[in-house]
């Protein structure tokens, strides 16, 4: 997977994408135990065309297709992995991208969402598998309670967190 | 929750913590192995369903010899 990170770094250097960070299940693996997934979510700031305000994934596809990678649905297959490029859709994800931290994988640097942002996003999305992941973050002791609380309050998730605790974390 | 269940849960959480503490490169390698194993399972075709009538005729032939 470090080969994919190298491709992403090159894309960022070439200006095809702006700041990027790994999120989703693979992002969680940076903080938790390995969990299975079939795709890699890459959150990206998309550079806008001069004079335009329309965001498009077109340049990403053109760049990667020219290098022999193939599209498959909403994914692009890079080094055998289905990679999805996702522009931030909520203020929480925007913040997660802005505050993502650098990590080294086998000598290749990459950026990943903080554990607190990943857990907050899971709480916000709220599917059963997201709830399961929040529990794993808590059980692993991966969250800085103060930082997590700040994020939850800023993004209006505090009540949801209280309810979540009552449902899943309190005996 | 019984004491046994509590112990099992505690052991599971501890095992998860141990795995979480591994280097990221190692954890991503484990993920790649899991995905490859899943692909290998889905690539294995199940055997064709047997026609029960044909099968029982063959059985009769074998036993009648």
Q: What pLDDT digit, counting tens, does each position of A100-113 carry?
A: 999 999 999 999 99
Q: CB of A4 within 8 Å of any CB in chain B? A: no
- Phi and psi of A46, rounded to 5°? -100, 130
Same domain, A145 and A122: yes
8 Å CB contact of A2 and B25: yes
| pLDDT tens-place string over residues B11-21 | 998 999 999 99
A10 in a structural domain: yes
| pLDDT tens-place string over residues A64-85 | 999 999 999 999 999 999 999 9
Same domain, A48 and A59: yes
Burial group, residue A117, by CB count within 10 angstroms (0-12, 13-18, 19+): buried
Question: What is the domain count for chain A?
Answer: 2
- Asked whether A114 and A143 are in contact (CB, 8 A), the reply is no
Same domain, A106 and A141: no
Closest residue to A32, CB basis, from B15, B20, B38: B20
At A75, which CATH number?
Answer: 3.30.460.40
pTM as predicted? 0.86
Please give the Cα distance from A95 to A19 (Å, whole number). 12
Same domain, A20 and A40: yes
Same domain, A15 and A63: yes
Predicted confidence (pLDDT) at residue A119 exceeds the cutoff of 90: yes
- The DSSP letter of residue A48 is P
8 Å CB contact of A34 and B28: yes
- Cβ contacts of A109-114, under 8 Å, gap ≥ 24: A109/A5, A109/A9, A110/A2, A110/A5, A110/A8, A110/A9, A110/A22, A111/A19, A111/A20, A111/A21, A111/A22, A112/A21, A112/A22, A112/A23, A112/A27, A112/A30, A113/A21, A113/A22, A113/A23, A113/A27, A113/A43, A114/A147
Same domain, A36 and A109: yes
ipTM: 0.85
Same domain, A131 and A75: no
A137 in a structural domain: yes
Same domain, A153 and A108: no
Position B53 scores a pLDDT of 76
List all residues 6 or more positions away from B18 whose beta carbon is below 8 Å from its beta carbon. none
- The share of chain A scoring above pLDDT 70, in percent, equals 96
Q: Which residues of A, range 128-167, sit inside 8 Å of B by Cβ?
A: 136, 139-142
Query: A108 in helix, strand or coil?
Result: strand
A36 in a structural domain: yes
Same domain, A52 and A133: no
List all residues 6 or more positions away from A64 whose beta carbon is below 8 Å from its beta carbon. A7, A11, A76, A78
Same domain, A108 and A120: no
Same domain, A139 and A80: no
Query: A65 in helix, strand or coil?
Result: helix
Domain limits at A8? 2-90+100-113
Structure tokens at A22: 């790994």
Same domain, A122 and A158: yes
A95 in a structural domain: no
Structure tokens at A48: 């806008």
Q: Which residues pair with A96 in a beta bridge?
A: none
């Amino acid at each position: 997977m470090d080969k994919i990170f190298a491709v992403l770094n090159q894309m960022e250097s070439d200006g095809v994408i702006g700041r990027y960070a790994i999120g989703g299940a693979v992002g969680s693996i940076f903080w938790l135990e390995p969990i299975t997934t079939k795709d890699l979510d890459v959150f990206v700031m998309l550079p806008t065309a001069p004079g335009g305000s329309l965001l498009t994934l077109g340049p990403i596809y053109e760049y990667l297709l020219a290098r022999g990678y193939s599209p498959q649905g909403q994914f692009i297959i890079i080094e055998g992995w289905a990679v999805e490029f996702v522009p931030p859709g909520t203020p929480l994800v925007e913040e997660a991208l802005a505050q993502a931290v650098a990590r080294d994988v086998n000598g290749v640097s990459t950026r990943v969402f903080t554990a607190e942002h990943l857990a907050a996003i899971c709480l916000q999305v709220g599917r059963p598998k997201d709830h399961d992941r929040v529990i794993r973050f808590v059980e692993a002791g991966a969250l800085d309670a103060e930082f997590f609380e700040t994020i939850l309050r800023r993004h209006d998730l505090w009540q949801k967190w209280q309810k979540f605790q009552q449902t899943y974390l309190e005996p | 929750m019984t004491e046994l269940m509590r112990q099992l849960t505690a052991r599971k959480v501890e095992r998860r913590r141990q795995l979480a503490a591994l280097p990221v490169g190692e954890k991503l390698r484990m993920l790649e192995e899991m995905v490859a194993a899943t692909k290998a399972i889905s690539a294995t075709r199940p055997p064709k369903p047997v026609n029960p009538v044909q099968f029982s005729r063959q059985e009769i032939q074998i036993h009648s010899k």
